[in-house]
Chain A
Amino acid sequence: MKSERTKGEVLLEIRDLKIEGQSDDVWHEIVKGVGLTLRRGEVLGLIGESGAGKSTIGLAAMGFARPGCRITGGSIVFDGMDLRKASEEERRALRGSRIAYVAQSAAASFNPAHRIIDQTVETAVGHDVRPRNEAEADAKDLYTRLKLPNPATIGNRYPHQVSGGQLQRAMTAMAMSCRPDLIIFDEPTTALDVTTQVDVLAAMRDIVEQFNTAAIYITHDLAVVAQMAHRIMVLRHGKLVEEAPTREMLTQPKEAYTKTLWAVRSLAMPERTAKDVVLRIHDVDATYGGVIKVLENVTVQVPRGRTVAVVGESGSGKSTLARVITGLLPPKKGEVYFNGKPLPRALKDRDKETLRRVQMIYQSADTALNPRQRVRDVIGRPLEFYLGLKGQERDRKVVELLEQIELSEDLIDRFPGELSGGQKQRICIARALAADPELIICDEVTSALDQIVQEGILKLLLKLQKETNVSYLFITHDIATVRAIADEIVVMYQGRVVQQGLKTEVLSPPHPAYTELLLSSVPQMDPDWLTHLLEKRAAAKAKVKA
């Protein structure tokens, strides 16, 4: 069925597209002559690292360039109309009604001030496609098709009142409301948990098929694009690397770059055991505001010089656990022992030496680094604060740390804004390392990074562990990362520990129900993975009912 779609009438033809982006008042070419052809009902996957220009191309397909970008060359012909030559009014008439857009973060892309239904029908009413009452009825129908709970009333809620997965589906409904010919999906599931992602992917794939809508599916996740696209284009640095039908691309990638993308997930460290326990969390309960229980009877151990991965979806209490360990959230019940001694429960009761031993690295290096501090001060500050180093001695140590994290000492006077994402995260690692800690809590440290950059960071963390015998508590939702780095795994769900043990134990069956759900939800490179998974789950459900 999929192959028929690659033969229909041409809907979108982009030729030799050139787009420039502005940085520091200089225009750089970020898309360097890319062409693509899309037929009615076909789903094209655009894949590449960040900076490959895939989102920029996706937006250009709507004749849109973000502020600070400009389309400088080529043609974008949508159903016979060259969007570059069309007036802004003509393009605006097209947007939303014939070409729709589904953004990465639904939570940020919904206007917080309006109810979901009002935003869903806005395009249909605004473009005079149908009157408001019909549009609302249609929106409810779409909510039903997208398997949103309470489709009749969910639209009356405000965006902050529903979950991320539900919002993402509501945004798909919003895109569908005018029955467009083309939808641009821009990393629509990247911000979602794997368990949620499965349902959203299935819902999007179904609805696109039902209405025979063409789509451009932009992602950095190969396994995801394999489920969605009929054809895949690999992009790098604003250029096309290669293009092929999905199955062919997965089985016989031609270019070297594509092969590295495919191979990047192969990092897998054998687990090691250890007796000496650095951190022991014993039977901890934690609440927010004394009412909402977020951790219940949690007991976790971290051996010295080892990595314990804490996995679970958002809301499972992973990050709260980190807050309890660091003292930001004193536990309601239970104790946290460090080197056998109980840690003071609250941050303010801990002395400098205790603080020094536990350090933290955050998900977003952008917000974790002060944009007004140079690298020298970012890394130098903990050296001064914890170890009392000053002047030249401090600078020497900063250079040493830069070497350790495999960055050039030339970067010492840069501001965070002048570094790449991967470099910034390395600076965060160096800042944690500067305190010479015994335990580093890594909270989703690779989630915001490209896969190739992720691999570099993970390798660095492993190397540093070998050199300094530091222990990691590695909080993540990504099973591939766990495979790569963990010795032990703790699976959490709704504030409780579901399963814990050595990596091989946890990853090999039989699993408890939640671990099973979590592991099976991780997308595989097989293009039939989603179909098979859904069939299997439906069958299991039918069995339970019978």
Chain B
Amino acid sequence: MHPLLRTVLQRLGLGLITLFVVSLIIFSAIEFLPGDFAKAILGQSATPETVEAFQKEIGLDKPAHERYLNWIGGVLQGDFGSSFSSRVGFRRSVMEIIGPRLLNTLFLAGITALVAIPLALGLGLLAALYRNSIFDRAVNAVTLTTISFPEFFVAYILMLFLAVKFPIFHSLSNVSADMPFFEKLQRTALPVLTLTLVIVAHMMRMTRAAIISLLASPYIEMARLKGVSPGQIILRHALPNAWAPIANVIAFNLAYLVVGAVVVEVVFVYPGIGQAMVDAVRSRDIPVVQACALIFAVTYILLNLLADVISIATNPRLLHPR
């Protein structure tokens, strides 16, 4: 079997095991949460009878392991169960609630990635090429500044200047599924910009460091002695050997875009999955919380898998064994 394919399968297998463990942890963590869900939802005044009936309705009367098996069995068939906000005769499936939210989050993450990754790579490469120059220092200082501010601060500052003082963009990003693509883009501009400012520094600095650490290699000196131009040295000779660390940082930041964008979503009232999860926690809608947590875990696992594949695919020693 090709080594690349073997590794991908291996990692996928490991990822599945990790997911299983994560599902156990999610389930038991929620199990250990204090308080009675039925009471919390029905309110203090609920009679014991109504509480019992409600518990029966949502299946809380069954033992924990049975509920776990039910849940995970459903998930394996693509059914994340029903939201606790369902009522008799009015079932709301979890997918119904988080499906559109997930799409929104992926849209925001995707657009941000399209802006931030090329920007970070480009700046990192340029900073490595003109290392220790004014340009390098300026890029480092600016990106470090933007990453040092809290996200909500950056978000409000951008809003103040780009939506209030100079109304170029919308301050609210309440997109909906039937909105035309271009309008969606325009409405998400500010969250995209905020998230970009937050994640660019990390990726850019890793690109720069990974390239510069290679510049002392004998094969880089050889390239110089062959008369290769400085730009080509960075692009042709250093970058291909630097993908592994860069891909790992990019994967990490992409995962953050999906998992950690809650604050930005809240500030811009963006209907993403992070907000959905926060709402669900507040209303004790356990199936939704569980589904969100599982989706986050899948995101991390898949993105890390992707980073591993890139590391291997760019390493001829692994790709073309002797």
Contact = CB atoms under 8 A, between A and B. Distances in A.
A350 to B, nearest CB: 33
A123 interface: yes
A113 B227 contact: no
Interface string B220-244: 0111111111001000110011000
A327 interface: no
A93 interface: yes
Nearest to B220: A111
Interface string A44-87: 00000000000000010010101100000000000000000000
A64 B316 contact: no
Interface in A129-185: 157-158, 160-161, 174
Contact of A109 (B218, B315, B322): B218
A182 to B, nearest CB: 12
A59 B221 CA distance: 11
Nearest to A97: B227
B153 interface: no
B2 interface: no
Nearest to B216: A67
A92 interface: yes
A122 B225 contact: no
B6 interface: no
A153 to B, nearest CB: 14
Interface in A99-135: 100-101, 103, 105, 108-114, 122-123, 126-127
A127 B227 contact: yes
Contacts of B225: 59, 62, 64, 95-96, 100-101, 103
Contacts of A110: 219, 222
A100 B236 CA distance: 20
B227 A123 contact: yes
Contacts of B315: 112
B226 A108 contact: no
Nearest to B316: A158
A113 B240 contact: yes
B232 to A, nearest CB: 7
A113 B320 contact: no
B310 to A, nearest CB: 13
Given A109-B218, A109-B222, A161-B322, A126 B232 contact: yes
B217 interface: yes
Range of interface residues on A (Cβ < 8 Å): 20 to 34
A97 B225 CA distance: 10
A174 B217 CA distance: 18
Interface string A23-40: 000000000000000000
Interface string A431-445: 000000000000000
Contact of A126 (B228, B316, B322): B228
A66 B221 contact: yes
A100 B316 CA distance: 26
A93 B221 contact: no
A174 B224 CA distance: 14
Contact of A112 (B227, B241, B322): B241
B317 interface: yes
B314 interface: yes
Contacts of A109: 218-219, 221-222
A204 B4 CA distance: 38
B222 A112 contact: no
Interface in B266-322: 314-317, 320, 322
A498 interface: no
Contacts of A123: 226-228
Contact of B227 (A95, A108, A174): A95
Interface string B139-161: 00000000000000000000000
Contact of A95 (B226, B241, B314): B226
A386 B267 CA distance: 64
B4 to A, nearest CB: 15
A122 B224 CA distance: 12
A247 B191 CA distance: 78
A10 interface: no
A105 B224 contact: no
A352 to B, nearest CB: 38
B287 to A, nearest CB: 48
Contact of B222 (A66, A93, A101, A126): A101
Given A92-B229, A158-B316, A158-B320, A112 B219 contact: yes
Contacts of B240: 111, 113-114
A205 B229 CA distance: 30
A113 to B, nearest CB: 4
A201 interface: no
A122 B316 CA distance: 19
A100 B228 CA distance: 12
A506 interface: no
B222 A113 contact: no
Given A103-B218, A105-B218, A108-B218, A113 B316 contact: yes
B223 A111 contact: yes
A89 B38 CA distance: 77
Nearest to A95: B227
Given A112-B315, A112-B316, A113-B316, 13 more contacts: A62-B225, A95-B227, A100-B226, A101-B225, A103-B225, A108-B219, A109-B218, A110-B222, A111-B223, A122-B226, A123-B226, A126-B228, A157-B320
11 contacts: A96-B225, A101-B222, A103-B225, A109-B221, A113-B237, A114-B240, A126-B226, A127-B227, A158-B316, A161-B320, A174-B226
